[in-house]
Amino acid sequence: MRGPRKRPDIYNDMRPPEAEVESVKRVVAALRMVPRLRANVCHASTEETLSIVSAARSQGAQLECEAALHHLYFDRSEILENPLLRTNPPLRPERDREALLEGLKNGRVSFLVTDHAPHLREEKLSEGVSGVPGLDDYGHMVSWLIRKGGVDPTVIASVACLHPASFIGSGDRGQIEVGKRADLSILDIRSPEVVRAEDVRSKCGWSPYEGIEFPGRARWTIRGGEPLLDDYEQVR
């Protein structure tokens, strides 16, 4: 029998969809016992998870769920070519990826997240750690979701800004309004860019999307009214 290094998808087999689904069912059961609680399912990765969350909401549960960038872009088959894509929960079959994308469009998914685990490439390959970086490619993925995935920009504004701010009770941000914090990212979704390791600013120095050309990228990043990225160039 071949070992995990030759069969990286064994890692996925050891973390089956049923484990995730059972965990989510336990969360729903706990919410029924204490209705005032609010919960969020981190990194939903299966179609059945979305169905359980949706059904619980229809019964009054205060339950949200999030989708990570890599679960929206990659499917299980790609870990065979790139063992760096080892993550928790693991990449699922294409039908689950498509269900997550549809869930993002129709409101089942509340938050769009990165997972951002900036392990060094050597750590990933030698120590078997899990997780992938994502912060550097958030703008890339949003441009892809809008241009290629058919996601409405107003949905992106909700899952990336409004809903997260509301969930954690930060009323001073999440929308563009007078009096709100001026924390903004402005994308040019028609400025293609190929992801290169040398452009990654996170300490890990690599990206799961290396070599992929995305339709757009971040052009400005503003924090507290001050630019950090100005016309594609880092200010500080």
User: Does residue 102 form part of some domain?
Assistant: yes
Answer whether residue 157 shows pLDDT above 70. yes
Distance separating alpha carbons of residues 107 and 134, to the nearest angstrom: 22
Residue 183: the pLDDT is 94
Q: Which domain holds residue 72?
A: 10-234
The answer to which of 16-25, 39-48, 124-133, 193-202 has the lowest mean pLDDT is 124-133
User: Does residue 5 form part of some domain?
Assistant: no
Band (pLDDT 50/70/90 cuts) for residue 213 is: very high
Verdict on whether the full-model pTM lies above 0.85? yes
Mean pLDDT of the chain: 94
Q: What is the pLDDT of residues 92-147, one digit of tens each?
A: 999 999 999 999 999 999 999 998 999 999 999 888 799 999 999 999 999 999 99
Residue 1: the pLDDT is 37
CATH at 44: 3.20.20.140
Question: Is there a contact between 136 and 207 (Cβ–Cβ < 8 Å)?
Answer: yes
Cis peptide bond prior to 17, omega within 30° of 0: no
Band (pLDDT 50/70/90 cuts) for residue 3 is: very low
Residue 9: the pLDDT is 84
User: Does residue 57 form part of some domain?
Assistant: yes
The answer to which of 2-6, 52-56, 111-115, 188-192 has the lowest mean pLDDT is 2-6
Answer whether residue 4 shows pLDDT above 50. no
How many independent structural domains does the chain possess? 1
User: Does residue 2 form part of some domain?
Assistant: no
Half-sphere exposure of 198 (CA within 13 A, CB side): 0
User: Does residue 224 form part of some domain?
Assistant: yes
Residue 236: the pLDDT is 66
From the list 209, 190, 222, the residue with the least C-alpha distance to 141 is 209
User: Does residue 4 form part of some domain?
Assistant: no
User: Does residue 1 form part of some domain?
Assistant: no
Q: What is the pLDDT of residues 67-88, one digit of tens each?
A: 999 999 999 999 999 999 999 9
What angle (nearest 5°) sits at the alpha carbon of residue 204, between those of residues 184 and 79? 100
Residue 125: the pLDDT is 87
The token duo for 110 is 């509340």
Distance separating alpha carbons of residues 145 and 138, to the nearest angstrom: 10
Residue 2: the pLDDT is 41
DSSP state of 199: G
User: Does residue 181 form part of some domain?
Assistant: yes
